[in-house]
Chains A and B, each alone.
Chain A
Amino acid sequence: MTQAQARGRQSQPEGPRRELPKKSRREGLRGIIKEEFGNPERRAAYYLVVPALLVIVLVAFYPIAYSVYLSFQRVLPNQPGEFVGVQNYVSMVADPSFREGFYNTVIFTVVSVSLEFFIGLAIALAINRAFRGRGLVRAAILVPWAFPTVISAAMWRLMFQDQVGIVNYVANTLGIISQPILTDQTLTLIAAILVDVWKTTPFMALLLLAGLQVIPGDVYEAARVDGANAVQRFLLITLPLLKPAILVALLFRTLDAYRVYDLFWVMSDRQLESLSTYVYKAVRVSQLNFPIGNAAAVFVFFSAFAIAIFFIKVLGMKTSTEG
């Protein structure tokens, strides 16, 4: 999904223009409309795309714009707002709960995505060959992925629980913990990271495996003939050729982890704060906080956007298959 999106993004400024001769561009808007709607096939294409586009614009883009507009107002549900400038953002940054949610989200994202990447890469490298029982492995990959996050969080909460929880029992017996896991914020955050690693590492492995499988075998053959050892082959062939798949998988997982909500909400019984739980609480739990929560939502949107831009521009995520 990410590839095509990036591909579309890149070809958007130059792609369509390239196809058309310069003359039709000079004809301006009227020329474009005539060209696009004069042809029945093209007209049909617009009819087919517009419904999906309309829904997306109305239910995603419009609310974001509305949200940005509201973030400069003191607005409560069912009440007229008043313009307050950046006051909401100032209050947001000053709010310890927001900062806690921000730190937790960043720690959770960085640690869980890193762990998922290294373990996922190891798994992908290990299973990148023909062997008996592939079906079983594929099932083991897909089952955690298909679980609703809240349900896996609920399941793990039962296992971390101090009365009947197996994990808590084992950790306690081994003397790793001195108190029930779910009564401590830090331990709960670690537990949440472990659950996320359990749930999404297989999926990361799946994406990386797909990337590995398109690397032609003769490249390795040639390197082996030239005397490259296993480490060299990995660093000089596998990693560079896998880079596009790695970046896609990392961006996808990073943005996913960054919006963490279900896991924290259920595992910690609403105690552990993330950016998303912070916004949620302002919308549903204490609506006096609505304007600040809305500002935080705008913050989440633009920071997620910045992460995507960072991957595409700075890390050079391959944005086009055409080259």
Chain B
Amino acid sequence: MKDGTSRNIWGSILFYLFIAVFVLVAMFPLLWVFKMSIVTRAELYASPPTILPQTFTTDSYATIFADATFQRALLNSTVIAGTTTVICLFLGSIAAYAIARLRFRFSSLFLTLILAIAFFPPVAIIAPLFLMWSAVNLNDTYWAMIIPNTVFSLPLTIWLLVAFFKELPKDLEEAAKVDGATTIQAFRKVIVPLAAPGVFTTAILTFIFAWNEFLFANTFSFTERTMPVTVAIPNFATVYTVNYGAQAAAAVVVTIPLVILVLFFQRRIVSGLTAGAVKG
């Protein structure tokens, strides 16, 4: 390390250049599509394309928000992803508590069965589920999507919650039990409040997972009545054939809530997502 300082400076410059390129590439589509959504149609079709927006209009957003299909799709997505999250958190937190905290014979077998779903290709069950839903008239209802979404989100939910529950101090619960609380009470009154931050992170990730789901939605939703945004937006390519601004605006509207959630809770999300890799 003879001329360490000048080497360090060049190293740092290169490093930050690399970081800048990386961040730019990762963010580019969002920024570019955002730009497409706010410029006039004339600028959109300009050749060569402009790099920075030269014009500004909210026409594309006006178009998209006046669209009844889009409004309905936003509502459908919220209901489907919200219900999935609630059910997953309920089923997941009680199961994760048992796995993390209680000793019983088939604990690892249960965990294996549940987590095996993470390796399951969802497409493998759409054919039989389609027949099953036809038999009980569930096709084209919210439940036709909520139920499979729940099953495929559960491994993530349980995995995260088991990790969170294991980190909680065990003494408190035991103290509660000494004071005469049952296992269920100890869970409700002690574990749930303590685990709230972890449960909240899990809820966000489960919600994103369910909000982004496409295969089940595309299979089990037939009409605009139940269609979530992930199904509605690709269809805009045919509805708004040449209105690329409107298509861009729709993509931005659907993504912005997720981007905000992610930016706000990034630290927690990263530690939740990498829990498995680190501990292995």
Query: Residues of A with Cβ closer than 8 Å to B?
Result: 1-5, 7-9, 11-12, 15-16, 20, 32, 35-36, 40-42, 44-46, 48-49, 51-53, 55-57, 59-61, 63-64, 66-67, 70, 75, 77-78, 123, 126-127, 131, 133, 135-159, 161, 163-164, 166, 169, 173, 198, 202, 206-207, 209-211, 213-214, 244-245, 248-249, 255, 258-259, 261-262, 265-266, 269, 275-276, 279-280, 282-284, 290, 293-294, 297-298, 300-301, 304-305, 308, 318, 321
- What are 7 A-B pairs at a CB distance below 8 A? A9-B112, A66-B131, A138-B270, A143-B262, A150-B231, A163-B45, A282-B127
Interface-located stretch among B2-10, B21-29, B62-70, B195-203: B21-29
Q: Which of A145, A149, A269, A308 contacts B214 (CB 8 A)?
A: A149
Report the bound CA distance from A53 to B247 in whole Å. Answer: 41
Identify the interface centre among A15, A261, A265, A282: most chain B CB within 10 Å of its CB. A261
Task: List chain A residues, Cβ under 8 A from B159.
Answer: 1, 4
Beta-carbon contact of B280 and A5 below 8 Å:
no
Report the bound CA distance from A172 to B66 in whole Å. Answer: 36
Question: Closest CB-CB distance, B18 to chain A, in whole Å?
Answer: 6
Task: List chain A residues, Cβ under 8 A from B111.
Answer: 4-5, 8
Interface size of B as a range: 35 or more
Task: List chain A residues, Cβ under 8 A from B151.
Answer: 55-56, 59-60
Report the bound CA distance from A301 to B236 in whole Å. Answer: 32
Beta-carbon contact of B155 and A1 below 8 Å:
yes
Instruction: Kindly report which residue of chain B lies nearest to residue A209, judged by CB atoms.
Output: B274
Report the bound CA distance from A219 to B33 in whole Å. Answer: 46
Beta-carbon contact of B128 and A51 below 8 Å:
no
Within 8 A of A (CB), among B65-93: 91-92
Report, nearest first, the 10 A-B pairs whose CB atoms are least far apart: A8-B112, A5-B115, A210-B274, A3-B280, A148-B212, A301-B124, A48-B98, A140-B26, A45-B102, A63-B128
A1-B156, A48-B187, A53-B113 given; 19 more Cβ-contact pairs under 8 Å? A2-B115, A2-B119, A5-B115, A44-B102, A46-B104, A52-B158, A53-B110, A55-B147, A59-B129, A136-B23, A139-B263, A144-B29, A146-B262, A148-B214, A154-B234, A155-B32, A163-B242, A202-B26, A297-B124
Beta-carbon contact of B19 and A294 below 8 Å:
no
Beta-carbon contact of A262 and B98 below 8 Å:
no
CB of B116 closer than 8 Å to a CB of A: yes
Instruction: Kindly report which residue of chain B lies nearest to residue A195, judged by CB atoms.
Output: B29
Beta-carbon contact of A52 and B127 below 8 Å:
no
Query: Residues of B with Cβ closer than 8 Å to A?
Result: 15-16, 18-19, 22-23, 25-27, 29-30, 32-33, 36, 44-45, 47-49, 91-92, 94-95, 97-99, 102-132, 134, 147-148, 150-152, 154-156, 158-159, 162, 182-184, 187, 208, 211-212, 214-215, 218-219, 229-231, 233-234, 236-237, 242, 244, 247-248, 251, 254-255, 258-259, 261-263, 266-267, 269-270, 273-274, 276-280
Task: List chain B residues, Cβ under 8 A from A262.
Answer: 214-215, 230
Beta-carbon contact of B113 and A42 below 8 Å:
no
Task: List chain B residues, Cβ under 8 A from A126.
Answer: 15, 18
**With A67-B127, A136-B23 in contact, is A276–B117 under 8 Å at CB?**
no
Q: Which of B108, B125, B278 contacts A64 (CB 8 A)?
A: B125
Beta-carbon contact of B19 and A137 below 8 Å:
yes
Task: List chain A residues, Cβ under 8 A from B248.
Answer: 155, 158
Instruction: Kindly report which residue of chain B lies nearest to residue A308, judged by CB atoms.
Output: B119
